[in-house]
């Protein structure tokens, strides 16, 4: 059985702490991926099932998030080819 490629999510919180999450591809459907992101933004919380539990992360406590790999996105609102530093 082929192992699903892993994705990474780094969450940086307002208090200076951070969390790193790895997960398999959730869907290959680009439209479904966009719906998942839109839903998280609409409910203002990220819900993650990990390590046998369900974790709720209010977006109000998040400074920024980085998701890897970026992948190919058709969204015209994404700046591509940039360099990011904090």
Spell out the per-residue pLDDT of the chain, length 86, in tens: 556 567 899 999 999 999 999 998 887 777 887 788 888 889 999 999 999 999 999 999 999 999 888 766 656 778 888 888 87
- Is 78 among the domain residues? no
Which helix (H) or strand (E) segment is 54 a member of? strand 53-58
- Report how many domains make up the chain: 1
Which two tokens mark 47? 């819900």
If you search the block for the tokens 């998280």, which residue do you land on? Answer: 40
- Is 77 among the domain residues? no
- Structural domain that includes position 64: 6-68
Residues whose CB is less than 8 angstroms from the CB of residue 23 and which lie 6 or more positions away in sequence, other chains included? 6, 7, 9, 48, 50
Which helix (H) or strand (E) segment is 35 a member of? helix 30-43
- Is 54 among the domain residues? yes
Cα Rg of the chain (Å, integer): 14
- Is 28 among the domain residues? yes
């Amino acid at each position: 059985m082929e192992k699903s490629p892993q994705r990474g999510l780094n969450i940086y919180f307002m208090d200076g702490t951070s969390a790193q999450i790895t997960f398999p591809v959730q869907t290959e459907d680009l439209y479904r991926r966009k719906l998942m992101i839109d839903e998280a933004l609409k409910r203002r919380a990220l819900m993650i099932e990990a390590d046998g539990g369900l974790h709720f992360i209010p977006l109000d406590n998040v400074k920024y998030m980085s998701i890897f790999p970026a992948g190919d996105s058709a969204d015209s609102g994404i700046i591509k080819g940039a360099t990011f530093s904090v």
